[in-house]
Amino acid sequence: MIIPRYLKEPLKKSLSASKNKIVILYGARQTGKTTLATDIINELDYDTLIVNADQQKYIDVLSSRDSTKLKGLVGNYKCLFIDEAQRIPEIGLNLKILHETFPKLRILVTGSSSIHIASEVTEALTGRKSVFTLFPLSLMELGQHHTEFEVDDFLEDLMIYGNYPEVYTEDGFDEKVMRLNEIGNSYLYKDIFELTGIRNKRKLSDLLRLLAFQIGSEVSVNELSQRLQISREAVNHYLYLLEESFVIFRLSGFSRNLRKEISKMDKYYFYDNGIRNMLINNFNSLNFRNDTGQLWENFILSERKKYLGYKQKNVNGYFWRVYTGGEIDYIEEHGGALWAYEIKQSESKAKPPKSWLNSYPDSHFQVINRKNYSSFTME
C-alpha cells in the first residue's frame, strides 16, 4: 500500500526550481525519507548520483573540503542525492563548496538527526537551502487516501500502534508490535549513540520510559535526575538529543510574567503513539487502559504538530497552568492572538477557566474531541 506523502509536491517543486537551493529533508529513521526522495528523483528524471553516507568511500570525499575530489565524485551528474548526511563531518561546509563549484547541480540531502547538520548548515548555507521535515504518516496524508469515515474507523489502531509507515501497513497485531520493537530497539537511538559518543543506552531508555508515563504532566528535571541517578546536565542533554532526533517534542508553559502562572517546567510528548506504547509495553485496546486520555492528548498534539509543520505555519505552542489550579491543555500564539484548546476524547463540553478569561479576555477557546478533531489536524 502506497500512501501519498504531503511533502512530495513541495519537495519536487523546490528541487526543480530554476534558482537552485540545496533541499534538506529531516525526519526520524523509518519515516520514509529515502523512499520519498527516491520516488521524487525517479519522477523528475534527472541524471542523479545517489550517495549512501553509510559508506566510507563517500564520507571521505564529501568531508574533504577539496573541490577537485568533489568534482571527481559529481562528474556530469545533474542531481546529487545524499542519504543520511548526518554521518558526514562538516557536511554544511562541503555542501557550500559543492553549491559554489556546481551552481547548476541540484542537491537533495536527507538526515535522521539534526544534531550534527542543523548548526553547520545554518551557518554555511544561509539563503541557499530549503528545509523540510518528514514525520510518521499524518492524518492529513491518510485523509487523502481514505474517507473521513474510514480514518475515524481505524483511529484506535493509530492511537495504539502509531503511524510509522511500516507499522501502519502491517495487518496483524503481532506484526505491528514486532515492527515497533524493531524501530524502537534498532533504529530510534542509532544516531544518538553513533554521533554523540553516548554509550549508556539503558539510561536513555529509562528516561524515555519515565516520559512515556508522564504525558500531559509537567516534567521535573530534578526528579528525573534523582530517579535515573544522573546529573541534571545529563538529563537536559539527553532531552535535547531526543528532540533533535525527532523522538519527542516539548511544550513550555505559557506566561505573560503574571505571578500566578506556572512556566518553569515543560511537558514532553512523543511524535508517535506506537513508540510511546512500545516503551511501556502496553498495546491493550482502549477499553482496557487507564491512560486513554493521555493517548488521545499525545495523538492530537503530534498530529497538530505535523499539520503546522507541513503547512509551514509559524505558530508558538504552549500549555497553561496557574497555582490556583486552572489549566488549559494547549495554547497557540500567532498573529498577535491566542487560541486555547482543551483536548478531550469524549464529546463533553468544557469552559475555559475564569482565571484564563480574566487574564486573556480576547483569546479564543475550543474543545478538541472525537467529533471535531479532523478540522484541527487535517482540515
Please say whether the beta carbons of 324 and 260 come within 8 A: yes
Q: What is the pLDDT of residues 199-235, one digit of tens each?
A: 777 888 899 999 999 999 999 999 999 999 999 999 9
pTM tops 0.85, yes or no: yes
Q: What is the pLDDT of residues 16-68, one digit of tens each?
A: 987 778 899 999 889 999 999 999 999 998 999 999 988 888 999 998 888 89
Amino acid letter, residue 50: I
Q: What is the pLDDT of residues 103-161, one digit of tens each?
A: 889 999 998 876 666 666 666 666 678 889 999 999 999 998 888 899 999 999 999 99
What structural domains does the chain harbor? 8-133 (3.40.50.300), 139-318 (1.10.10.10)
Q: What is the pLDDT of residues 315-333, one digit of tens each?
A: 999 999 988 888 999 999 9
Could you tell me whether strands 248-253 and 316-321 are parallel, antiparallel, or unpaired per DSSP bridges? parallel
Q: Per DSSP, what are the bridge partners of residue 106? A: 79
Flag whether pLDDT at 86 surpasses 90: no
Which of these, 167, 158, 174, 160, lies nearest to 188 by C-alpha position?
Answer: 167
* pLDDT of amino acid 125: 66
Q: What is the pLDDT of residues 226-237, one digit of tens each?
A: 999 999 999 999
User: How confident is residue 6, by pLDDT bands cut at 50, 70 and 90?
Assistant: very high
Residue with cell 487560541: 339
Flag whether pLDDT at 15 surpasses 90: yes
Residue with cell 492530537: 300
Residue with cell 478569561: 357
Q: Cβ neighbours of residue 115 under 8 Å, at least 6 residues apart?
A: 86, 191, 192, 195, 196, 241, 244, 245
The residue ranking higher by pLDDT, 359 or 124, is 359
Could you tell me whether strands 337-343 and 364-368 are parallel, antiparallel, or unpaired per DSSP bridges? parallel
C-alpha cell at 110: 536527507
* pLDDT of amino acid 1: 64
Flag whether pLDDT at 195 surpasses 80: no
Flag whether pLDDT at 184 surpasses 90: no
